[in-house]
Amino acid sequence: MTDTGIATARTTPAERTLAQLLDARISCRAYLPEQVPRDVIERILELAQQTPSWCNTQPWQVAITEGEGTERFRAGLAEYVRTHPQESDFDWPRAYVGEHKLRRRECAMQLYASVGIAPGDRAASAEQTMKNFDLFGAPHVAIVTTHEALGTYGAVDCGLYVETFLLAAQSLGVATIPQAAVAGSSRFIHDFFALEEDRRVVCAISFGYPDTENPVNGFRTHREPVAHVAQWVSR
């Protein structure tokens, strides 16, 4: 603290706690089979409810599986993906160009290298991608949906919700991975959860306790320095 009582950067316990959470969270792609107790999941959901949204619409709804529910979802999804083309409620990226393409490639290469997949081994990388539809072995999945009338900003609000969920889970020792890949089976998801037709699937979050021994959880993606993204106007 300064003598005016205003916090300076890196001085508050809250800043340190947030930095620790942000630093510790990664996308977890291998899980232990243990269920997360219902009260822990409920606390994650309670914390995630604090997410801000435009006009406080709180457009997110979340469908969660546990136990046999997850197994039915996992089996149904794997079968659906084998027999249906991908169709998402939101447009998928039209193109990855320039630095987006480079970063996408870098994180894919890191993922493949972590599990010993050689560059260019398309069969092995496709097999790794298919693990999305096994929820990477997670014992739970949360499907986040928005309302169709809210359009892009409803999805933005849900994106914020997803991040609060990830950090809330991290604070309770629960690992997560957001998955757009699962949202590509929107029809299956609608039917499985009997979602109302005006709901739009934003993404899934698979979660559980991390398998820390699995090398797929052993790499870290990089972030650009602030100078690369921030533009200042001072006069």
135 contributes a contact to ligand FMN by CB under 6 A: no
With respect to ligand FMN, which residue has the nearer C-beta, 94 or 235?
94
> Out of 63, 138, 155, 203, which residue is the one contacting ligand FMN (CB under 6 A)?
203
> Out of 59, 139, 178, 208, which residue is the one contacting ligand FMN (CB under 6 A)?
178
CB 166 within 8 A of CB 209: no
Of 94-102, 119-127, 148-156, 171-179: span binding ligand FMN (CB under 6 A): 171-179
216 contributes a contact to ligand FMN by CB under 6 A: no
With respect to ligand FMN, which residue has the nearer C-beta, 32 or 180?
180
> Out of 21, 27, 45, 78, which residue is the one contacting ligand FMN (CB under 6 A)?
27
Cβ contacts of 199 within 8 Å, gap of 6 or more: 61, 145, 146, 147, 148, 190
Specify burial of residue 120 (Cβ count, 10 A radius: 0-12, 13-18, 19+): exposed
Q: How many CA atoms lie within 13 A of 232 on its CB side?
A: 5
- In the DSSP assignment, the letter for residue 54 is G
Helix (H) or strand (E) holding 205: strand 199-208
- Looking at residue 123, its amino acid is A
CB of 183 to ligand FMN, least distance (A): 8
Span 75-134, contacts to ligand FMN by CB under 6 A = 107, 132
Binding site for ligand FMN (CB under 6 A): 26-27, 107, 132, 177-181, 203, 221
